[in-house]
Each structure stands twice: as C-alpha cells, then as structure tokens.
Amino acid sequence: MIPSERDNTPMQPQLTAETAPSRANTSTEQDIAFGFVRELAAELSGGKVELPGFPHIVMRVQRVLSDPGADLDRIVRVIGGEPVLATQLVRIANSVALNPGGTPVTDLRTAVARVGLDTVRSATIAFAVRQLRQAPALRGLEGRLGELWKRSVQIASLSFVVARRMTRVMADTALLCGLLQGVGRLYILTRASGHRSLFQDEAAYAAIERGWHLSIAAALLENWGMADEIVQAVQESENHEREARGPATLADVLLLGTLLADLDEPVSLSARLEAAKPLQRLQIDAATCEGLLEESAQEIAALRSALG
C-alpha cells in the first residue's frame, strides 16, 4: 500500500445515531450493526483502510504511474506482467469512445500511449474488481458486487461524456473518478462479508453505506497515492451545497455523472438539477441532459462494455 504524504486526512463521520444503522429487526442485529460501524471508525482512525482481496497489480501499476522517472517502456512492462489486464486495456483503447476513428490498436504499447495514464488506472481498477468477484470470501454476494460495479461503470461513462462535451475537464480523469466514486461502498461490502447478518436489514446496511462510503473512499485513494483533485472530487460527489463560482470542476462533473446514473429513482431530473447548487455554473436543464444522453449513447455503451 502506498503511504499517503498528505496532511489533509479525510474527515470521518461521527459515531452517532445519524451515521449508525437507522433500525434493526432485533437487538442482536442492532449490536452487530453498531459493532461493525465501530470497526469502520477504528480502521479510519488507525489508518488501516486497505481493500481486502484487491490484486497487488493495482499497487504496482499505481507505483509506476506515480513515478515521474518511469518511461513508457517501464509502464508497459508492469502492465504486460498481467496478460488479462493488458488485454482489457487494448480492448478499451479500441472502444468507440476512445478510438472514434476506428484505427485498430493491436499492441499494449500503442494502447497505453493512446489512452493516457488515467485510463490505464481505470482499466486496472476494472481488472481488479473482476478478480474480486471471484474471491471465495465474497461467495453469495456476487449479485451485490455486480450491481455496485455496474453503477460505478455507469457513473464513470456518464462523467466521461459530461467532461468531454460540457466542460474543459479531462475526460479520462473524469472516467477514473467515476469508477472510484463507489470504492468506499466496495470496501464496506468486502468487510461486511464477514458479518453476513448485516444484509438481513437492508435499511440498516444502506444507512452504513450512506454515512461512511465517501470517507472510506477518500482514505483509500490517499493510500493509493491518487491526486488531490481526484480525492476531493470523490469526497464532494454527493455534496449539493457547494459554492457555484468559477469554471466547472472535476467534482462538478462527477456530481452530475452520479446524479444522471440514479435517474431510475422517483425524483424528476429537473428537481435534481435545481437542488444541486454546484451544477448552476454548467447552466444546464433537463432537456440539455436528455440531449447529452441521446447524443452520447454509443460512447456510453462502448465504455460500459469495455469496462465490464
């Protein structure tokens, strides 16, 4: 695990009735839920936030990408050490979203040069989650993990097209941010796999996720050595009260991507946009967003397919 050199340790939720489970069916379930929340709090306070079961290739790739002295050949050697990851990266490089001209990419070196380092990070995260799905400790939770990853890929794809078509934010960085927005939920799921009774009360489990996933995500990303801009964007991805001054930011892009990914919930798009103060600077309405989704449907589908 890459140690964080930053001083801005993520603010963690207080262990209160608001951040603990909202209810439980029995006192035993309530005790288990509160005990689990105390464990999360202790892990955050002690700096022990490591994602169980994540392949070591994620750390190796992050280390080489964070090394200013690393050249393309070294990056390719590290990625090439994991053939499945290398294959997935070539596949992403050939997707419609990243290769609109249709010129085939057949080798890893060209793929890395074409897509950029943040997309390499995205491919590595996608590979790691695919491996995590096969972990024996998560047997029986494949459905939950699949839905969580599906949402992350949707947020990432939407953030990519929002950044490319509406802002000057780098689209590949927005793609990476979208994948990472749910990493705190992924951590909670993997840790909860040892406390299966937590899943018997969906409302209690949802309360734990809501209260803790962003703080946990920020801690994980700092440990992974992610850029401050990415950590901050993930932390602010559900904050609808931020100031709306200045040009659009990565956090704004991620906020809109997250909002659009949840359109199946019973709240109108217009109401969501109106409630999200930071999005005022984008000067968008429901019709604009619906047009974006229609125009970008092919790109979104290609990214979803490539990231799996």
Taking Cα atoms as reference points, which of 110, 117, 71, 118 lies closest to residue 94?
110
pLDDT score for 188: 92
pLDDT score for 26: 57
Tell me which of 14-23, 48-57, 65-74, 172-181 is least confident.
14-23
Strands in 239-287 per DSSP E:
none
- 150 φ/ψ angles, rounded to the nearest 5 degrees: -60, -45
**How far is residue 126's CA from residue 69's CA, in Å, rounded to a whole number?**
26
pTM of whole model > 0.75? yes
Residue 15: pLDDT band (50, 70, 90) is very low
- Res. 199: pLDDT tops 90: no
Residues 6+ apart with CB under 8 A from 59: 1, 2, 224
Local structure of 83: helix, strand or coil: helix
Tell me which of 42-46, 87-91, 120-124, 279-283 is least confident.
42-46
203 in Cβ contact with 22 (< 8 Å): yes
pLDDT score for 29: 67
pLDDT score for 251: 94
Residues 6+ apart with CB under 8 A from 108: 76, 79, 80, 86, 89, 90
Average pLDDT over residues 249-273: 87
**How far is residue 190's CA from residue 223's CA, in Å, rounded to a whole number?**
18
Average pLDDT over residues 131-158: 91
Taking Cα atoms as reference points, which of 2, 32, 20, 21 lies closest to residue 220?
2
pLDDT score for 168: 93
Average pLDDT over residues 269-275: 88
- Res. 300: pLDDT tops 90: yes
Q: What mean pLDDT is reported for the chain?
A: 85
Average pLDDT over residues 135-154: 91
- Res. 14: pLDDT tops 60: no
pLDDT score for 11: 52
Average pLDDT over residues 163-172: 94
pLDDT score for 2: 36
- Res. 17: pLDDT tops 80: no
Which residue reads 């963690």 in tokens? Answer: 12
294 in Cβ contact with 156 (< 8 Å): no
Residue 25: pLDDT band (50, 70, 90) is low
Helix or strand holding residue 48 (H, E) = none
Percent of the chain surpassing pLDDT 90: 48
Residue 90: pLDDT band (50, 70, 90) is very high
- Res. 239: pLDDT tops 80: yes
- 217 φ/ψ angles, rounded to the nearest 5 degrees: -60, -45
